[in-house]
């Protein structure tokens, strides 16, 4: 999201879940070295970008079926399935 200037907007998560009713999404926190490098020379316009907001947006659209930490810097994989109905 940060690399493409896409806001952490519930509509973006909704689009992702509707496009892939089952899937895995990686959440990368701002504390991750790659994100820190990406933001080093530009304004941080991603004030609403955090894991709690991401999880809330995902839970609104899907059932989270798994969460796995994949790095010491806090990257997580979230598996999900679209809520039916």
Segment 24-55, tens digit of pLDDT? 999 999 999 998 998 888 888 888 889 999 99
pTM as predicted: 0.84
Q: For the chain, how many structural domains are there in total?
A: 1
Note whether residue 4 is domain-resident: no
Q: Are 78 and 58 in contact (CB under 8 A)?
A: yes
9 or 61, which is more confident: 61
- Range of the structural domain that residue 37 is part of: 10-82
**Which residues face 72 on adjacent strands?**
none
pLDDT of res. 2: 75
Note whether residue 5 is domain-resident: no
Site of tokens 């080093």: 40
Residue 12 has pLDDT above 80, yes or no: yes
Note whether residue 1 is domain-resident: no
Residues of the chain with pLDDT > 90, as a percent, come to: 55
Q: Are 25 and 64 in contact (CB under 8 A)?
A: no
């Amino acid at each position: 999201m940060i690399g493409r200037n896409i806001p952490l907007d519930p509509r973006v998560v909704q689009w992702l879940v509707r496009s892939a009713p089952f899937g895995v999404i990686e959440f990368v926190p701002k504390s991750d070295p790659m994100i820190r490098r990406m933001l080093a020379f530009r304004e941080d316009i991603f004030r609403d970008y955090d894991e709690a907001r991401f999880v809330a947006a995902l839970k609104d659209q899907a059932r989270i079926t798994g969460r796995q930490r994949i790095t010491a810097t806090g990257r997580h994989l979230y598996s999900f399935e679209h809520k039916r109905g």
